[in-house]
């Protein structure tokens, strides 16, 4: 069975498992796990920020990051199919008490005109104030679309004029970096706070990081504990993330090539497949998923008429070619 449901399905390689077994550990709740500390410092430096915080999940990293710039009763603006709006089970409102409004744009892109029109300044105790804008790069439900750096820079410039903070959901920012060659620090300069994931395309079994200022991360460390996210000898997992950063970033280009192959088999222009995610419309998504599974290819329905496929570390070129043949026969 070739499993294309998600890039979270990857399993640690033998070399990654060896790195995990050798990891030096301590109690991270006390701030005494050297492997975690080294990973946090490394990732913060990659993006040009002061600090980072290791978390068990990307959703937790996003909740912590957004909460550091949006107070209870304030709002964050995001694209309508953003992960924070659609795939985190309402955690931001349920846990931190913020509100959310959305714009809709093709391929999940930044629509600065819409954001400007929606933005609500502080008008006293009468209206909800827009505290932050969140963008997602790459954009999951928009088929792994990359947000152009120029658009992000324009958003940053506008945000500076209005006192609005920017959150970057960079769960798959590594893919954008590899696809475009944009330095990670350039993406880091766009955001006040951000989240990046190690357990998707990079192949670690667990782990994400919130990245931001030292003050924001210190606040998030307390909130993480309150949410049940304090972890003890977690350097075993941080070691997997460090290994992934050393060995699994540049190989993401292979996943992107495989995704273009699948997209073409499904009738898409390969040039429209930016990274490792393919999203297509079918009259009956679940029927299409079932038919593919009957021929040994697992894919995911993400809506009544929407199907998603994701390439990853455990999908070889041979796997991708075989899956493309199956999907083309169903298309």
pLDDT digits (tens, 9 = 90+) for 59-73: 999 999 999 999 999
Instruction: Assess contact for 73 and 98: CB atoms under 8 A.
Output: yes
Count Cβ neighbours within 10 Å for each residue of 195-217 and write b for 16 or more, e otherwise: bbbbbbbbbbbbbbbbbbeeebb
pLDDT of amino acid 126: 86
Rounded average pLDDT per 10-residue block, the chain, 331 residues: 96 97 96 97 98 98 98 97 95 96 96 97 92 98 97 98 98 98 98 98 97 98 96 97 98 98 95 96 96 97 96 97 96 74
| pLDDT of res. 331 | 74
Rounded distance, CA 294 to CA 37, Å? 46
The two structure tokens encoding residue 101? 């409004």
Q: What pLDDT does residue 259 have?
A: 98
Non-local (6+) Cβ contacts of 124 within 8 A are none
| pLDDT of amino acid 32 | 96
Q: What is the pLDDT of residue 68?
A: 98
Decide if 55 contacts 228 (C-beta within 8 A): no
């Amino acid at each position: 069975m070739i499993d294309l449901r998600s890039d979270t399905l990857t399993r640690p390689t033998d070399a990654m498992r060896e790195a995990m077994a050798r990891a030096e550990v301590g109690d991270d709740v006390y701030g005494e796990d050297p492997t975690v500390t080294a990973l946090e410092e490394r990732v913060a430096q990659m993006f040009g920020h002061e600090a980072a915080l290791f978390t068990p999940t990307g959703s937790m990293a996003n909740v912590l990051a957004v909460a550091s710039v949006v107070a209870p009763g304030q709002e964050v603006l995001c694209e309508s199919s953003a992960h924070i709006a659609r795939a985190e089970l309402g955690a931001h409102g349920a846990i931190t008490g913020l509100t959310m409004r959305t714009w809709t744009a093709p391929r999940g892109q930044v629509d600065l005109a819409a954001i400007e029109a929606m933005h609500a300044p502080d008008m006293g105790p009468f209206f909800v104030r827009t505290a932050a804008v969140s963008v997602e790069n790459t954009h999951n439900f928009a088929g792994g679309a990359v947000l152009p750096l120029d658009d992000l820079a324009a958003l940053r410039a506008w945000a500076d004029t209005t006192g609005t903070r920017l959150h970057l959901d960079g769960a798959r920012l590594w893919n954008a970096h590899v696809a475009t060659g944009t330095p990670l620090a350039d993406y880091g300069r766009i955001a006040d706070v951000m989240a990046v994931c190690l357990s998707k395309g990079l192949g670690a079994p667990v782990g994400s990081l919130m990245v931001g200022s030292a003050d924001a991360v210190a606040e998030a460390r307390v909130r993480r504990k309150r949410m049940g996210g304090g972890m003890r000898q977690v350097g075993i997992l941080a070691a997997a993330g460090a290994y992934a950063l050393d060995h699994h970033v540049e190989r993401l280009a292979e996943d992107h090539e495989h995704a273009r192959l699948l997209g073409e088999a499904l009738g898409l222009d390969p040039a429209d497949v930016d990274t490792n995610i393919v999203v297509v419309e079918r009259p009956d998504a679940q029927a299409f998923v079932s038919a593919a599974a009957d021929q040994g290819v697992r894919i995911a329905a993400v809506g009544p008429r929407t199907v998603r496929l994701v390439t990853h570390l455990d999908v070889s070129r041979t796997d991708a070619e075989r899956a493309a043949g199956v999907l083309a026969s169903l298309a």
